Structure 1
Amino acid sequence: MLCCLSLTPLALAGAAQAQAATQTRTTPAGRPTHPVAVGAQPPAKPAPAVARGVTEVDVGARRSDFAFPLAQHDPDATTRLSADLLRERDVTTLRGLEHVAPNLTMQSINGTASSNFYLRGAGFNDFTQNNMPPVLTYMDDVAYAYPAMSNGLMFDLAEAEVEPGPVGTKHGQSTTGGEVRLRSNDPTTTWHYGGMEDIASYARSRSEAYVSGPLAKGWSFRLAGQTRQGGGWQYNPSNSAHLGDADLWALRGKLRWQPNDRTTIQLGGHFVQDNSQVVTAVPVDRLIGTQPLPGYGMGRQATWSARPEFANLVGRGAGLKPSEHNQYWGADLRIIHDFGPAAFTAISAFETERQGEYTDQDGTALSQADTYRTIDANVFTQEARLNGAALHGRLNWVVGAYYQRSRMNQRFFFDYTDYTARGYMMATSFGMNQESVSEFGNVSYKLPHNVTLWAGLLHELDDRGITGLTSQIFGGKTQNFMPESTAANQFAGQVGVSWQFLPQALLYYKMSKGFKPGGFTANNTQVQAQLDPFKPETVLTYELGLKSDPVPGRLRLNAAAFYNDFHNQQVVGTVLIPNYGPLSEITNAPKSESWGFEGTLEAHPFGHLFVLQNIGWQRGNFQDFPNVDRAATNAYHKATNQWKAIERNFNGVDNGSPKLTLNGSATWRQPLPAGYRLDMGPDWQYRGSQAITVGGTGFYRLPPYFLLGAHVTLHSPSQLWDITAYARNILDRRYAESGGMATTTYFYIPGEPRFIGGRIACHF
């Protein structure tokens, strides 16, 4: 009977120095005692017949006090995150990854489970969630075309990775911003089980459990689940109602068959039901009308409302609060066979989402921008690839193909009853069909003197169309719009060189071209021109990086500098509809750029102290971007009560992304009598100011913020259990997590207040 020891993020025992190339052993529950390095280059001959968690130990490896030692020899800027670090920093949703990775901003759309990504300045606010994001999410090597599909799945994880920059020549799909890769624990060949209970402020409860083991010869399984309840911290001072309680449960299962030592066949599936309430908007400025705003600042107070007529229209009960009514499920089949010279991998997956989201976007008791959105979507993906090596491991290669087919139907309901310029309820409906296919390959060759050259190429065809779009005013007219389509045929690629100039130091340089297909804006459509597709986005990225352990076991420093040259960068701009008002619209900035750096410092300066610090800094601007100046247009309307588009070219204007992001932690590991151990320390996060409109200033920008947390964990001598007390946002700072615009107000989505909690975890 073994237990998963909860280790500090920096104190995971390592397994190798430069020449140790084998994978290392992990505990049966899936957390590494000697971390498995997950590099950008897949191994030439993976051991598919061995589950993650039971691979061999390199007995010649040297102990390291830092995680993922083998990845120090991979030429990339990927941030690798252990399961223990994710748990210690309370990363339980996809958006929590911005607390532990540099140059990453992940934000909720109007307080809901849908998210937007910004990585190294690449990203955009896809409020309709019907387009491919610039940063793709992968769960167990399955790409999620729509980020919301990962909602509720961040439990029983083995590790996570955040890779910035263009990707797609080694697996999956091409994109311009990067990837977030999540890996859940695999089945084990011996019996193990465990659970975790976490209770915190505002009656928040999180529970997890898993069981894993053999079923018959060659057969094993893993079943894991989680529930989330409570935690609602917003309240309405007018009626004392509170808002934000979680109500989610999720299950994930894996069934693995290993008929021989060269073949693995695994069937996986998951189901998530999410009926959680959401964080609602807090208005910060009124653009239209004279009604006073609640004026609650960014504290716990908020106002919302849903008229019974609107709740009845969307098929929900009276007293509807801002909330989710979402269901996700999916299944995947993977087949891995080692032929000797090459290993074959095939992954087939089918994912679905059924969403029903109600948000009060004006943030007042009036019905001026109440919105209910339904999404019915499914995605089928198929990937096949061969990984191989030759010439005594000097030559490594991968070739493969990827296919994706998605179908989506959306319907937006709007309640504008109290907005005098409209005074009605309406709905916009549309369908979306998409299909793409790509072929990719990557080859690397190791020269003398520890120099390695590599190159990759990807070709992708993408075809998508929007159909059946209607805009219906209830009790009024219905508009029917013509279908639109867009297709792309593009190449992406990468070339690079790395030099392991010291056993503990690697220098690399690479150039990458990324590609992302075009799409459509389909929210609140009033004129046919709003359905004109935006163009594909391409980026040429130059990156110079260093990975080093200058004092092995004591100091690690990784850093990368980058420059992005964008063409037709996809940006949320503004379109003015005459006699209607400004609307957000995804469009293209013909020319733009961004540059910056990120770094990770890990230090074990003495005895019991371990320090981790991530830093990300980036700048960027538009070099050519003609569009409507929303601030000037709104100001003109305030002065004249007339809508007139004020055009300008945003040449030289900052791209609006946070310039500086910081996050880190310090942990003191203190041995105690009788074999107990106490881990304690603070953690912190800073995010700079971020624009929510192009060229935004004043309330058009989210203010910067700094958050402080802390934890203390008691580990048992038997390693069967651990107990943690923690605090998040200790200083109870008021801050804006994201923001946007409704019909009459600009609003912020406030971040969580102080949470104090505790958890106990057991693993057998």
Structure 2
Amino acid sequence: MVPVWCAAAQAEPQDVSGAVPGVTPVVVAPAAASGQAGQTQHGGAHNPAHSGARGRAGQRVSGPAARRPVRAKPGPVVARQTTAVDVSARRHDFAYQDAQHIPDATTRITAERLTERGVVTLRGLERVAPNLTIQSINGTASTNFYLRGVGFNDFTQNNMAPVLTYVDDVAFPYSSMTSGMMFDLAGASVTPGPVGTEHGQSDTGGEVHLHTNDPTDTWHFGATQDIASYARSRSEAYVSGPLARGLSFRLAGQTQHGGGWQTNPLNGDHLGDADLWALRGKLRWKPDAHTTILLGGHFTQDNSEVVTAVPVHRLIGTQALPDMASWQQAEWSSRPQFAKLIGRKAGIKPSEHNQFWGADLHIDHDFGPLTLSAISAFETERQGEYTDQDGTALSQADTYRTIDANTFTQELRLHSSNTQDKLQWVVGAHYQRTRMDQRFFFDYTDYRPARGYMMSTTFGLNQESLSEFGHLSYRLPHGVMIWGGLLHERDERSITGLRSQIFGGATQNFHGESTTSDQFAGQVGVSWQMLRHALVYYKMSKGFKPGGFTANNTQIQAQLDPFKPETVLTYEAGFKADPIPDRLRINGAAFYNDFHNQQILGTVLIPNYGPLSEITNAPKSESWGFEGTIEAHPFSHLHLTQNLGWQRGNFQDFPTVNRAKTNAYYAQHGVWKAINDNFGGVDNGQPKLTLNGSAEWRQPLARAYTLEFGPDWQYRGSQAITPGGTGFYRLPPYFLLGAHVSFRSASGRWEATVYARNILNRRFAESGGQATTTYFYIPGEPRFIGGRISCAY
């Protein structure tokens, strides 16, 4: 849903969503860049930190959703930016006014809201969007997305996710590649449901966009320092300005240190300290009034420790689970022999040793009746990741993974330029190529008598995809608009050179497998601007996601059989209304998903070895629900926001191994026997209810200052970590409470904030999973109290 937060006497932020057919776009140029002192989201003057950041917002993108940010168009767009800058004349208490005329369920989030809620990683987005769950995989930098309950758990991260991540219009096929990039942001957006008919690739769950600040035509610089509990420190800085006529740049960076809050009761050691630094640079050139060229590059080095697992149930063996005096305690181990095998120092803690870098080139040229956009990008990752997945001092499931991957993407789009035309259109193509090599090392030395060895699994992945898309919308009389889009995508991928080696034992070599997916996706819809401040819409969308492979801990050739593509037919109806403009906003959408061959992490039993996770297909499943946003400014100074998401779903046909019953049989008889079951009629296990919101009091002080304070909250319902899971197979629900107090100058030059997260110090599980011998939870952060100072000029 459209985000929902209020701001006293603020200037409307630039709409990252683009324009909508039939509605005249209102493009507000940055006040600092234009020499005018507009208001910020918080009621103070315009913050130069974000000046010029939304230069691309005015570009027209065909279709009603127009979700993605696009690069600034020259010519007419520049004219709009220089003529529609009367910020002081038009102020709004709610952000993204133009988006209220766009028939979509996209949540648009301002940079100020991201900062206020402490969103510095992808996982933090679940605090500010409805029906969204983002979880780390075993506490690592890798993430899994669940949007409207659509998602799947892919530890190997070599398959396409149901929810794609974009950074400045560049598709990131593997979300881990975005690590360390959430700084110097201009905003973010979350779009649920099938996508791909207007840009990028088809997907079944939706997409997340991060929008970073662009270069400015006037000089600006700023810095932020954030210090919190457990010696956590986050620092950011940027500088932006012109280099020559038509040429400008922006350079920004961040560092993160400390924050480790887990301790080992066996030796008093602590775990979880961040050690990350990142840089991003952009160079923008406007050789003429019709052309914009933007070259960007980024680099991240992440040597952070990770939160380790806490076991909740022992599946194999008789050793007692660790008895922790506090939920902030955990056990971990690393044997010197294993550290030597993986080439790391003795005593290695659960941690990352990752490097990410990439570059992208955006070219936009306005030909008059149409605009050409070209986006070229190359992204790479080098990961070394150690996790203690059994969560004990024993070496029963200690894991080290290396990933060497790169991806190249190329997108071309032609779209209509004049936003006043009744007919709007876009056509284009998107190409992606990925090369990946992974190696998993496992230390099972203390898992006796079943194993008692160290081993590795090695494989490569080659992937290519090409999609062609088109989208049309037409504005009819009386505020009615119809639209339709079509996408064709062909995806080819193969897994190569897979070898499973037991050190001091046997080595197995497996022959390669390949799979090709060739399908169509599309969308049709109708909307009605029934009143000036009320919009209703209905759409039907088909989404498509290619098949792939499960490659972790392979023991038999059958484990490499590819799983099938996933398709979904989604029905969605929604509304957007400002029944009392600048006082009350209510947006909502209801949906129904009809899945075929939904990809899900199931279970396979390897004889004389045990159950292993395997991505498989549920032939038939469904989900349904709704999400809503209420934004209220009932009287002066008080601003309320509430996001709500509710969803239900079940498998209608899902034959698989019942892991719980299979484990129970082994515990009783000491023999592995697959207990097959069909989970038809079983709940899909995703959280049924998610809530997040805030209440803020904004008080001007003596004209020169502003004081803002208030609580924020987040709730997530119970979630299964295995199909049909009950008891310890489910993550418990949780409720978290936070608060902040901010004091800032009316000029927007500086700001000081004191904040608290998880004030009640609630114990909760952020995610969970299963290792060889135990089921575990990944605990969430305890109470953090911190302060933040920022300045911008």
Q: TM-score range by the shorter chain?
A: over 0.9
Which residue in 1 is equivalent to 2:622?
593
1:318-377 C-alpha deviation (Å, 9 max, x unpaired): 110000000000000110001110111000000000000000000000000000000000
Matched AA of 1:47: K
**Would the alpha carbon gap of residues 51 and 479 (structure 1) be closer, same or farther in structure 2, given more than 3 Å must change?**
farther
Q: Which residue of 2 aligns with 1:757?
A: 786
Partners of 1:622 and 1:37 in 2: how far apart?
Answer: 43
- What letter matches 1:303 in structure 2? E
Q: CA 1:457/1:418 → structure 2, altered by over 3 Å: closer, same or farther? A: same
Matches within 5 A, 1:417-456: 417-420=445-448, 421-456=450-485
Q: Deviations over 1:287-318 (max 9, x none)?
A: 11111111328710000000000001000001
Q: Which amino acid in 2 is paired with 1:313? A: L
Alignment of 1:597-616 (within 5 A): 597-616=626-645
Residue type of the partner of 1:280?
T
Paired residues, what number?
758
One-letter amino acid matched to 1:41: A
- Measure how far apart 1:673 and its partner are: 2.1
Q: Are 1:41 and 2:90 an aligned pair?
A: no
Which whole-Å deviations, capped at 9, do the CAs of 1:362-395 have from their partners, x for residues lacking one?
A: 0000000000000000000000001105795111
Aligned pair in 2 of structure 1 residues 671, 33: CA closer, same or farther (>3 Å)?
farther
Counterpart in the other structure of 1:523: 552
Alignment of 1:241-390 (within 5 A): 241-296=269-324, 299-388=327-416
Whether the 8 Å contact between 2:49 and 2:221 is mirrored in structure 1 is no
- Whole-Å separation in 1 of the counterparts to 2:216 and 2:744: 24
Matching residue's letter, 1:621: N
Q: Deviations over 1:399-432 (max 9, x none)?
A: 0000000000000000000000100000000000
CA separation in 2, counterparts of 1:565 and 1:455? 20
Q: Distance in 2 between matches of 1:465 and 1:750?
A: 36
C-alpha root-mean-square deviation of aligned residues, in Å? 2.1
SS of structure 2 residue aligned to 1:65: strand
Letter in 2 for 1:222: R
Please, which moves more after superposition, 603-612 or 46-55? 46-55
* Cα distance in 2 for residues equivalent to 1:298 and 1:751: 13
**Alignment match, 2:29:** 25
**Which residue of the partner structure matches residue 4 of structure 1?**
none
Residue correspondence of structure 1 range 70-81 to structure 2 within 5 A: 70-81=98-109
Shift in CA distance, 757/54, structure 1 to aligned 2, threshold 3 Å: farther
Shift of residue 578, structure 1, vs aligned partner = 0.5
Give the counterpart letter for 2:217 in structure 1.
T
Distance of 2:326 and 2:203 partners within structure 1? 36
What secondary structure does 2:567 align onto? strand
Q: Distance in 1 between matches of 2:152 and 2:771?
A: 18
Letter in 1 for 2:292: T
Inter-partner Cα distance in structure 2 for 1:520 and 1:213: 47
* Post-superposition CA distance 1:519-551 (Å, at most 9, x none): 000000000000000000000000000001000
CA contact (8 A) 1:15 1:62 kept: no
1:14 equivalent to 2:12? Answer yes
Shift of residue 763 of structure 1?
A: 0.4
Q: CA deviation at 1:25?
A: 1.8
C-alpha displacement of 1:718: 3.1
Rate the CA distance shift 1:45–1:126 in 2: closer, same or farther, 3 A: closer
Unaligned runs of 5+ in 2: 15-19, 34-47
What residue is the counterpart of 1:731 in the other structure? 760
Q: Note closer, same or farther for the CA distance 1:343–1:389 as it changes in structure 2 (3 Å cut).
A: closer
SS of aligned partner of 1:328: strand
Checking the alignment, whether the CA contact within 8 Å between 1:78 and 1:161 is kept in structure 2 is yes
* 259-268 or 522-531: bigger deviation: 259-268
SS of the equivalent of 1:96 reads helix
CA contact (8 A) 1:9 1:82 kept: no
Shift of the 340–307 alpha-carbon distance from structure 1 to 2, 3 Å rule, reads same
TM-score in terms of structure 2 length: 0.93
Is the 1:305–1:364 contact (alpha carbons within 8 Å) kept by the matching residues of 2?
yes
Contact kept in structure 2, 1:44 and 1:342, CA below 8 Å: no
Letter in 1 for 2:637: H
Cα pair 1:31 1:53 within 8 Å, conserved: no
- Residue 90 of structure 1 is matched in structure 2 by 118
The alpha carbon displacement at 1:24 in A equals 1.1
Partner of 1:672: 701
Matched with 1:3 is none
Partner of 1:706: 735
Counterpart of 1:504 in structure 2 is 533
1:8 and 1:121, CA in 2 relative to 1: closer, same or farther beyond 3 A?
closer
Among candidates 206, 222, 230, match of residue 202 of structure 1: 230
For residue 421 of structure 2, the aligned residue among 393, 401, 424 is 393
> Greater shift after overlay, 673-682 or 632-641?
673-682
Paired amino acid for 1:635: A
- The whole-number CA distance in structure 1 between the counterparts of 2:122 and 2:103 is 25
8 Å contact from structure 2 (residues 366, 417) kept in 1: no
CA contact (8 A) 2:691 2:716 kept: yes
> Which residue of structure 1 aligns with residue 41 of structure 2?
none
Distance 1:483 1:146, change over 3 A: same
Distance 1:600 1:33, change over 3 A: farther
CA contact (8 A) 1:134 1:175 kept: yes
The equivalent residue for 1:188 is: 216
Identity %: 72
Counterpart contact for 1:117–1:134, Cα < 8 Å: yes
Pick one of 68, 84, 91 that aligns with 1:57: 84
Contact persistence 1:430–1:466 (CA under 8 A):
yes
State the shift of 1:717 in Å. 3.3
Compute the TM-score of the two structures, normalised by the length of structure 1: 0.97
